[in-house]
Structure 1
Amino acid sequence: MLFQGDVFLYSATPASTELIAFARELVEEAFEGRDPETAQHEMPVEEFAALLAALKPRFIHHPTSKKIIATLLDEMGMALDRTYFDVPRLRTSTSGHYLDSGISYAYHAHRDCWYSAPFCQVNWWIPVYEVVPENVFALHPQYFDRPVRNSSGRYDYAEWVAVSRPTAAQHVHSDTRDQPKPEEELDLGSELRLVPEPGGMLLFSGAHLHSTVTNTSGRTRFSIDFRTVHIDDVRSRAAAPNVDATCRGTTLRDFYRADDLTRIPEELAAEYEAEALAKLT
């Protein structure tokens, strides 16, 4: 159903509640007594960006984050020896265009699969604090199986990891990194905005077109996202349709098996890389 474009919304669970509690602990420690959701109104944007540049990697790479994700997947009924996840990322969306680039990038309409994600990828999105329609993100389901002219053909994941990703915190007032974008005017009027409770979970295919909502709430939104693949889908190529992605490389090497944190078998990642390259030649 996910590979056909369906979207699933789940209530908070004990493990997802534990995950956002851990995120809040790190966030509130970093902001040193300021309200993290309104601190943007009190801080120079350069100071805010520098704080996030330290905070976000701390959450992403903390062993507790991975441990709770594995517990959450088990709680949701996933087979831990067949399910792989990438590191959970702490995301922010500031209000009033205070910080829309670099470390707090406001995403234009895109598919994760334009960024070399496998088409069997499932995206998980979890708000850390309360969210409202004015500060979440939008899905554009009318484009799930409808091609969009885009610049993914210029994107190479290995190059992004080596060159572009490490410079994120340097892009404060604008973001000059070349990222896959639509190259035609889109009709985004029938967007879908879902508003989970803190710790609630939104699951959707990485092939869905989605975008950051222009935040007009007056508060910074904090959320967690991560991605999963099932090894049987990776092997069999069971997946959502590829209607328009022409990028190079694969993100599969970023995934950890939920039971022991081993990586996706290298031969599978190499196969996906070769297949992506073959489609361009």
Structure 2
Amino acid sequence: MFCIPPRDTILAFSEFAWTLIQEAFGDLDPITAHSFIPVEEYVKILGPLKTGFTHSSRSKELLREVMADFGADLGLTYFDVPKLRVVPPASYLTAGLGYNYTPHRDTWYSAPQSQNNWWAPIRGVTDKSCMAFHPEYWQRPAVNTSSEFDAYEWNRSARRDAALYIKSDPRPHPRLTGSGPGSQLRILGDVGSILSFSGAQLHATVPNTTEQARFSFDFRTVHLADLIANGGPENVDSSSTGTSLRDYRRADTLDQLPDEVISLYDHGGSSDGVLVFDPSVLGVG
């Protein structure tokens, strides 16, 4: 894990996100809006806000600028579209669009072992509303339900239906079974900072016990050479099927990964599923 102090490119990305958040909530303060409106209304705000941020051309431009700032080769670096995370108090919403991720590795979600995760705070992040890491399980197997996760079935229904779930979330998120996650490390950062870590790290959402909502954004990157070489840490416990690699776009051209590279990771996916998620089902073109 790398904790990177504030940089202008990340601050610009965070402030762009915050502008969209403020516009979406209108006269309400986004940090405390949950105190004044029913959760059903809150979710109706989150839906277009989150998809609008993720699929905005400006988000992709800002992400490219962040990668260039870090010296990435934009012709070999591929990114997944950025995600806006909103975590209001756990007593208000923990499912669907405000899902609190239990301890997991991204590799359990059909991600490649070489995937790198990037996470940046926007507003409202405290030690009671941040992310937690469980370092005892770095390269140590953990019993989990990743065998029940298929990337193409996830694209077919689970991603589409997130806004339907408010009180509970029946989607097949991979989870630990049979034991706890061990010790916990919580990492905080100022606005404009960013956390970079392996997708194979065991991590989770800390249930928000404050009175304020937490806003952050994250994205994922892979390097073409790493994918071809099957790089990254050893797969110690992921049994998920399909692959998330069709979601990735080359940083400079937005081209998809070559088919021959995707095929290296395309194992056991559902023949009835959807290979590439279509955001138009969410009302976003």
TM-score (norm: length of structure 2): 0.92
2:162 paired residue number: 168
Distance in 1 between the 2:259 and 2:178 partners? Answer: 36
Q: What are the Cα deviations for residues 201-253 of structure 1, in whole angstroms up to 9, with x where unaligned? A: 00000001001101112111000000000100000111112110001011111
Q: What are the Cα deviations for residues 100-127 of structure 1, in whole angstroms up to 9, with x where unaligned? A: 0001100011000000000000000001
2:282 paired residue number: none
1:92 and 2:86 are equivalent in the alignment = yes
Shift of 1:275: 7.9
Runs (5+) with no aligned partner, structure 1:
1-6
Runs (5+) with no aligned partner, structure 2:
271-285
| Aligned with 2:252 (options 252, 259, 267) | 259
Distance in 2 between the 1:20 and 1:187 partners? Answer: 30
Once the two structures are overlaid, the 10-residue window that deviates more, 84-93 or 130-139, is 130-139
Cα contact 1:140–1:192 (8 A) shared by 2: yes
Alpha carbons of structure 1 residues 96 and 105: separation in structure 2 relative to 1, 3 Å: closer
| Aligned with 2:143 (options 149, 159, 163) | 149
2:5 paired residue number: 11
Alpha carbons of structure 1 residues 187 and 256: separation in structure 2 relative to 1, 3 Å: closer
Once the two structures are overlaid, the 10-residue window that deviates more, 82-91 or 126-135, is 126-135
Cα contact 2:3–2:195 (8 A) shared by 1: yes
1:77 and 2:97 are equivalent in the alignment = no
Distance in 2 between the 1:37 and 1:60 partners? Answer: 20
| Aligned with 1:66 (options 57, 60, 64) | 60
Alignment of 1:173-212 (within 5 A): 173-188=167-182, 190-212=183-205
Distance in 1 between the 2:98 and 2:269 partners? Answer: 29
Alignment of 1:83-162 (within 5 A): 83-162=77-156
| Aligned with 1:216 (options 201, 209, 213) | 209
Distance in 2 between the 1:235 and 1:130 partners? Answer: 39
| Aligned with 1:44 (options 16, 35, 38) | 38
- Secondary structure of 1:95 counterpart: coil
Report the count of equivalent residues: 270
Q: What are the Cα deviations for residues 157-211 of structure 1, in whole angstroms up to 9, with x where unaligned? A: 01100111100000011111122111112143x2111101112100000001001
Alpha carbons of structure 1 residues 23 and 187: separation in structure 2 relative to 1, 3 Å: closer
Kindly indicate which of the two structures has a greater share of residues assigned to helix.
Answer: 1
Amino acid at match of 1:272: Y
CA RMSD of aligned residues (A): 1.3
Cα contact 2:137–2:181 (8 A) shared by 1: no
Shift of 1:256: 0.8
1:273 paired residue number: 266
Cα contact 2:89–2:213 (8 A) shared by 1: yes
- Secondary structure of 2:61 counterpart: helix
Amino acid at match of 2:68: D
1:236 and 2:236 are equivalent in the alignment = no
Amino acid at match of 1:55: L
Cα contact 1:144–1:209 (8 A) shared by 2: yes
Cα contact 1:130–1:198 (8 A) shared by 2: no
Amino acid at match of 1:129: R
Q: What are the Cα deviations for residues 120-177 of structure 1, in whole angstroms up to 9, with x where unaligned? A: 0000000111521111010101101111111111111011001111000000111111
- Secondary structure of 1:134 counterpart: coil
